[in-house]
Amino acid sequence: MKTGSKLVIIGDGEFARIAHEYFTHDSLHTVVGFAVERDFLKSSEYLGLPVVPFEEVEASFDPEQHKAFVAVTYTQLNRVRARLYRQVKLKGYEVVSYVSSRAFVWHNVVIGENVFIFENNVIQHFAEIGNNVILWSGNHVGHRSVIEDDCYLTSHVVVSGFCRIQQYSFVGVNATIADRVTIARDCFIGAGCVIAKDTEPGKIYQAAPPQVAKVGSLRFMKVKDRNDSEV
**pLDDT tens digits, one per residue of 100-144:** 999 999 999 999 999 999 999 999 999 999 999 999 999 999 999
- pTM value? 0.91
Q: Do 97-208 and 6-96 fall under one CATH topology?
A: no
**Which residues have C-beta within 8 Å of that of residue 197, sequence separation ≥ 6?**
178, 181
CATH of domain 6-96: 3.40.50.20
Q: How far apart are CA 184 and CA 58, in angstroms?
A: 36
The domain locations on the chain are 6-96, 97-208
pLDDT band at 230, cuts 50/70/90? very low
Q: Which CATH superfamily is domain 97-208 in?
A: Hexapeptide repeat proteins (2.160.10.10)
| Residue 201: C-alpha distances to residues 6, 147, 204 (Å) | 39, 15, 9
Closest by CA to 81, choosing from 29, 13, 21, is 13
Q: What is the pLDDT of residues 78-102, one digit of tens each?
A: 999 999 999 999 999 999 999 999 9
Closest by CA to 193, choosing from 172, 213, 164, 216, is 172
Report whether 30 contacts 6 (CB < 8 A).
yes
Q: Is the pLDDT of residue 229 over 50?
A: no
